[in-house]
């Protein structure tokens, strides 16, 4: 597969682009949870959070706790300023043109649903085609199913090849049917496949479709440049990138957001309310009804600072080295089958595998006895499990704080599981 690497190099990371190695020992001191001795290999599920993020949220609660944009006193002004400063930080982080293109949501799921409910309900009609893929997380699949049912639209899925990459021949064939919307993930949370977002987007646009990208696994590990890739929508979650739970971002191109009707209605999103009717604020506020997750937004800002302080090139190099090591070591174990592409530019630090004769939940339970946390089951990708013909997988995933020693503990635990079930 030919791949443009440019969109995977983060534009704003302040780390050494030559890839000076991360000082993981120092980094781990920022994460008190590691003092418990846990080997945390489930960052694709949710990441750990450093002190810097927790402290920033605590600062808000202790020093300037107030609602945003509602009150004319200094405390509220300070909270609003911090809240809006994060919007600008996110804009820079994903290189959006304007901070009005940054909608706070409760996470990736909420962002994708917003597109389905607001853009989808308004623009799709019976017989229209939505193209999705078999590797999607349920968050980027079920909303399209519901939308297709409601609008009597068609929904078609691009398959994967034997190594877990999207079948470009099928993608192209579906584009020839002129879909209205193409939805795919930046990085597969099960296979670790990094999709060539820029290429796929250019092809989808040439076919006349809008492009929605699920960035839940992409933004944390690779960063993203929305202008370089030219996507129409990009959704991601704070909690997978060292930030708090309960907050995420939907990027949408300004013209699209302008034309979309509100999804949730209530306080803050209105311009004027009369009994006869209501007018709405400009985006992004039109899509931010009610009190937002203020502390969490502020925490997300601290998480972005933290990641950019380390630098995406260095983080990527670190995760690549761990993936190489884990892939090689797991491949040497009898009875272990790994899903997804081998290590390379289109593989992220996510390894899903099957251990012959042992249910993934049993593997996970045995690993847990030794303090190793992995995900087991369908990883919210049931159609993909079906496609791979497995009930579930064991999944180990890595992040900037992961150490080789944790992978060694995984391997030791797997050998122990094999011994018990022999
Ligand atoms: C690829 C992908 N998409 C979407 C989601 C949903 O994210 P959230 O639960 O934060 O909305 C996840 C979370 O696991 C994911 O990995």
Other beta carbons within 10 angstroms of residue 420's beta carbon come to 10
Residue closest via CA to ligand 1's atom 15 equals: 216
Q: Where are the beta strands (DSSP E) in 289-347?
A: 336-339
Query: 154 - beta bridge partners?
Result: 129
152, with CB counted inside 10 A (0-12, 13-18, 19+), is exposed
Nearest CA to ligand 1 atom 14: 45
- Determine the residue of 44, 107, 137 to mutate for testing ligand 1's pocket, defined as the one with the most ligand atoms within 8 A of the Cβ atom: 137
Query: Does the annotation mark 380 as catalytic?
Result: yes
Which DSSP letter does residue 244 get?
A: -
Alpha-helical regions (H) of 164-293: 168-175, 197-206, 218-222, 226-229, 254-259
Rounded Cα distance, 156 and 141, in Å: 11
Chain segment 340-366, per-residue pLDDT in tens: 999 999 999 999 999 999 999 999 999
Extract the residue ranges of the chain whose pLDDT is less than 50.
1-16
Q: What is the pLDDT of residue 20?
A: 80
Q: What burial class does residue 250 get, using C-beta atoms within 10 Å of its C-beta: 0-12 exposed, 13-18 middle, 19+ buried?
A: buried
What was the pLDDT predicted at 4? 34
Instruction: Give the helix/strand (H/E) hosting 214.
Output: strand 210-214
Query: Which pLDDT score is estimated for 224?
Result: 97
Q: Tell me, in angstroms, the distance from the centre of ligand 1 to residue 77's CA.
A: 33
Q: Scanning the structure block, which residue is given the tokens 């694709």?
A: 44
183 SS3 class: strand
Q: What does the pLDDT read at residue 10?
A: 38
β-pairing, 233-237 vs 210-214, is: parallel
Give the model's pLDDT for residue 70: 80
Confidence at residue 19, expressed as pLDDT on a 0 to 100 scale: 57
Show the domains of the chain with their CATH numbers: 9-49+312-421 (3.90.1150.10), 53-308 (3.40.640.10)
pTM: 0.95
pLDDT (tens digit per residue) in 151-171: 999 999 999 999 999 999 999
What's the gap in Å between 46 CA and the centre of ligand 1? 9
Say yes or no: CB of residue 237 within 6 Å of ligand 1: yes
């Amino acid at each position: 597969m030919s791949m443009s690497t440019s969109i995977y190099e983060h534009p704003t990371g302040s780390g050494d682009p030559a890839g000076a190695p991360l000082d993981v020992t120092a980094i781990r001191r920022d994460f008190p949870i590691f003092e418990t001795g846990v080997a945390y290999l489930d960052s694709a599920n949710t990441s750990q959070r450093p002190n810097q993020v927790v402290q920033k949220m605590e600062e808000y609660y202790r020093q300037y706790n107030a609602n945003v944009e509602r009150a004319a006193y200094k405390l509220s002004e300070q909270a609003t300023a911090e809240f809006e400063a994060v919007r600008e930080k996110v804009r820079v982080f994903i290189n959006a043109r304007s901070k009005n293109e940054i909608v706070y949501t409760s996470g990736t799921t909420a962002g994708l649903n917003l597109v389905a409910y607001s853009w989808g309900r308004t623009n799709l009609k019976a017989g229209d085609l939505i193209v999705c893929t078999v590797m999607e997380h349920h968050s980027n699949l079920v909303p399209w199913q519901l939308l297709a049912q409601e609008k009597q639209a068609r929904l078609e899925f691009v398959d994967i090849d034997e190594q877990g990459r999207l079948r470009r021949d099928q993608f192209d064939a579906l584009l020839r049917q002129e879909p209205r919307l193409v939805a795919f993930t930046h990085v597969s949370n099960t296979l670790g496949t990094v999709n060539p977002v820029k290429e796929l987007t250019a092809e989808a646009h040439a076919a006349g479709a809008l492009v929605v990208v699920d960035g839940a696994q992409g933004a944390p590990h690779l960063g993203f440049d929305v202008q370089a890739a030219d996507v129409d929508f990009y959704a991601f979650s704070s909690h997978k990138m060292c930030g708090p739970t309960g907050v995420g971002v939907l990027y949408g191109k300004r013209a699209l957001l302008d034309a979309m009707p509100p999804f949730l209605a209530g306080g803050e999103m209105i311009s004027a309310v009369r009994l006869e009717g209501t007018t709405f604020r400009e985006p992004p506020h039109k899509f931010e009804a009610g009190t937002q997750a203020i502390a969490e937004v502020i925490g997300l800002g601290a998480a972005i600072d933290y990641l950019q302080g380390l630098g995406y090139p260095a983080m990527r190099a670190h995760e690549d080295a761990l993936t190489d090591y884990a892939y090689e070591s797991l491949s040497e174990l009898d009875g272990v089958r790994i899903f997804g592409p081998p290590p390379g530019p289109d593989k992220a630090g996510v390894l899903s595998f099957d251990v012959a004769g042992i249910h993934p939940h049993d593997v996970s339970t045995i690993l847990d006895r030794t303090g190793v946390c992995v995900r087991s089951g369908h990883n919210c990708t049931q159609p993909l499990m079906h496609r791979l013909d497995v009930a579930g997988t064991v999944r180990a995933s890595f992040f900037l704080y992961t150490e080789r020693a944790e992978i060694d503990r995984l391997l030791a635990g797997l050998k122990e599981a094999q011994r018990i079930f022999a």
